[in-house]
Amino acid sequence: MFIETLITEPILFFRIVVIVILSVTLHELAHGWAAMSQGDNTPQKTGHLTLNPVIHMGVESLIFLCLTGIAWGQMPVNPAKFRSPTLSNIIVSAAGPLSNLALGILFIALLKFFANPDSPGIFSFEFLYLASRINLTLFLFNLLPVPPLDGFHVFSEIFPQLKPLQHTNFGIFAMMLLFIVPGVGTGLSKIAEFFISVTVGF
Note whether 202 and 168 are within 8 A (CB). Answer: no
* Residue 193 annotated as catalytic: no
**At 115, is the secondary structure helix, strand, or coil?**
coil
For residue 79, whether the previous peptide bond is cis, meaning omega lies within 30 degrees of 0, is no
Q: What is the CA radius of gyration of the chain?
A: 18
Taking each continuous run of H as one helix and of E as one strand, the counts in the chain are: 9, 0
**146, 148, 105, 108: which is closest to 127 by C-alpha?**
108
Q: How far apart are CA 189 and CA 67, in angstroms?
A: 20
Which candidate in 4, 9, 28, 126 is catalytic? 28
Residues involved in catalysis? 28
